Amino acid sequence: MLESIELVIGIAVLAVLVIGGGAAALVRRARGRDVEELPEGRPRPGVDYAPGVGDDDRAPRDSATRTVEELPALGDVDASETPAPPAQAEPQPERPAPVAGRLVRLRERLSRSNTALGQGLLALLSRERVDESTWEEVEETLLLADLGAGPTEELVDRLRERVRVLGTRDADSVRELLAEELVELVGPDLDRTLATTPHDGRPAVVLVVGVNGTGKTTTVGKLARVLVAEDKDVVLGAADTFRAAAADQLQTWGERVGVPTVRSFADGADPASVAFDAVRAGAEGEVDVVLLDTAGRLQNKVGLMDELGKVKRVAEKALAAASPEGGGIDEVLLVLDATTGQNGLQQAKVFAEAVAVTGIVLTKLDGTAKGGIVVSVQRQLGVPVKLVGLGEGADDLAPFEPRAFVDALLD
């Protein structure tokens, strides 16, 4: 019995020595010393599995069987034999969605939010009996939709006459009647094309203005995507030097579609200087369009509005230096938040006086039932709505199409 116990103890001691020797060999190996070969078939920490907390031989890294002697010592690896890391592919610019038909594709989103105007009028005029109280409700619906007093009176008078002549008021007839009158009110003959055709020796220049919070910088980025989708070369000018993140935000938009951004990294840089550099860079690079973002301004701040006028004048000086033809800014787009209603019209008037606005961009049109703002802002300024924002997606900026807009209201 005693001999058996001694035999077991002896075997245990031998096992400890073997295991201890293996562990010591690993330590010596890590320090670059001579080591002994590990027991055959035993996975090697740091070789056959990744070492770490809880190493337990259950995470094989390499199924090939190699002895310790076959492995290079630390510091003896030939760099030429080490496989190079895979080359990182250059990020490819995004390809924006086609511009044609965008408003049609987005009409469902628009129709969901403008039921008060289109669907409300349809319900009223489809009644079996249209009396004076009905016409008062029609007028109220139009005013609540921010159509404005003048256009409302004009539309009600025309609808009264046509309903009287029409006689029958089935749903299809009333819908077509409304569609025709609303399209006429929106202005189907207004020129809504963007002036983005380059000139001889210089690019077209688009100045984008607006108050804080209307989504102006985002609109510039989305407009760049519209132009890229039309195969135009574009340069962005980050002339909003007051808001710290504006230039970074604009540059990110540009990088997504491979468009360069001219900006200043100095605090409080002169926005007119940035505009000048952007126009000059566009001319030297022979690009098609330069888009100039500007700082959001309150329409009642005279000094800021004067500075905006300076940005425009300096950009025109850059155009004169770039081409003997010179010329002025091709397009001045005023970005308005459609949800602000009549207050947006007051903003529009002041900006129009400062920089001669040529077109309107209505953002957040999908978030309001006040679709009448399209008509009222055009009447107040005498310039057309050229673009509308219908969501937060990168390609949710669409050229404004009167018939598609009206169809969406009546869906």
Residues 291-313 pLDDT 10s: 999 987 765 666 778 888 899 99
Strand-pairing partners, residue 337, are 363
Q: How far apart are CA 295 and CA 133, in angstroms?
A: 48
What pLDDT is recorded for position 193? 95
- The predicted model gives 117-144 an average pLDDT of 86
Is residue 292 included in any domain, yes or no?
no
CB 339 within 8 A of CB 364: yes
What pLDDT is recorded for position 47? 43
What pLDDT is recorded for position 268? 77
Q: Flag whether 296 is marked binding.
A: yes
Which three-class secondary structure state does DSSP give residue 27? Answer: helix
Is residue 152 included in any domain, yes or no?
no
Report angle CA 311, 315, 321 to the nearest 5 degrees: 150
Q: Which of 50-59, 227-236, 300-309, 341-350 has the highest mean pLDDT?
A: 227-236
Strand-pairing partners, residue 45, are 49
Q: How far apart are CA 321 and CA 354, in angstroms?
A: 24
Q: Flag whether 365 is marked binding.
A: yes
What number of other Cβ atoms are within 10 A of residue 258's Cβ? 15
The letter for the amino acid at 48 is D
DSSP state of 83: P
Identify the burial level of 143 via C-beta atoms within 10 angstroms of its C-beta, where 0-12 means exposed, 13-18 middle and 19 or more buried.
Answer: middle
Residue 14 has pLDDT above 80, yes or no: no
Residue 318 has pLDDT above 90, yes or no: yes
Q: Flag whether 41 is marked binding.
A: no
| Alpha-carbon 324 to chain mean position | 36
Number of domains in the chain: 1
Residue 34's domain comprises: 19-51
Q: Flag whether 267 is marked binding.
A: no
Put the strands of the sheet holding 331-337 in their side by side order. 261-262, 234-239, 289-294, 204-209, 331-337, 359-363, 385-389, 397-399
- Among 43-47, 128-132, 200-204, 353-357, whose mean pLDDT is lowest? 43-47
Q: Flag whether 210 is marked binding.
A: yes
Residues 371-385 pLDDT 10s: 788 898 898 889 999
Nearest CA-CA partner of 99 in 188, 222, 11? 222
Is residue 46 included in any domain, yes or no?
yes
Is residue 38 included in any domain, yes or no?
yes
State the DSSP H helix or E strand holding residue 325, giving kind and residue range, or none if neither.
none
Q: Tokens 């009176």, residue?
A: 153
- Among 80-94, 175-189, 354-368, whose mean pLDDT is lowest? 80-94
CB 378 within 8 A of CB 190: yes
Q: How far apart are CA 155 and CA 178, in angstroms?
A: 10
Is residue 133 included in any domain, yes or no?
no
Strands 261-262 and 385-389: unpaired
Q: Flag whether 215 is marked binding.
A: yes
Is residue 37 included in any domain, yes or no?
yes
Q: Flag whether 217 is marked binding.
A: yes
Nearest CA-CA partner of 224 in 249, 188, 192, 200? 249
Q: How far apart are CA 396 and CA 361, in angstroms?
A: 12
Q: Flag whether 214 is marked binding.
A: yes
Q: Flag whether 211 is marked binding.
A: yes
The model's confidence at residue 63, banded by pLDDT at 50, 70 and 90, is very low
Is residue 239 included in any domain, yes or no?
no
Nearest CA-CA partner of 178 in 371, 353, 23? 371
Q: Flag whether 340 is marked binding.
A: no
Q: Flag whether 261 is marked binding.
A: no
Is residue 400 included in any domain, yes or no?
no
Which three-class secondary structure state does DSSP give residue 48? Answer: coil
Query: Between residues 96 and 256, which one has the greater pLDDT?
Result: 256
Q: Flag whether 339 is marked binding.
A: no
Q: What's the Rg (C-alpha) of the chain? A: 35
Span between the terminal Cα atoms of the chain, in Å: 99
What pLDDT is recorded for position 145? 83
* CB contact set of 176 (below 8 Å; sequence gap of 6+): none
Structure tokens at 387: 């673009």
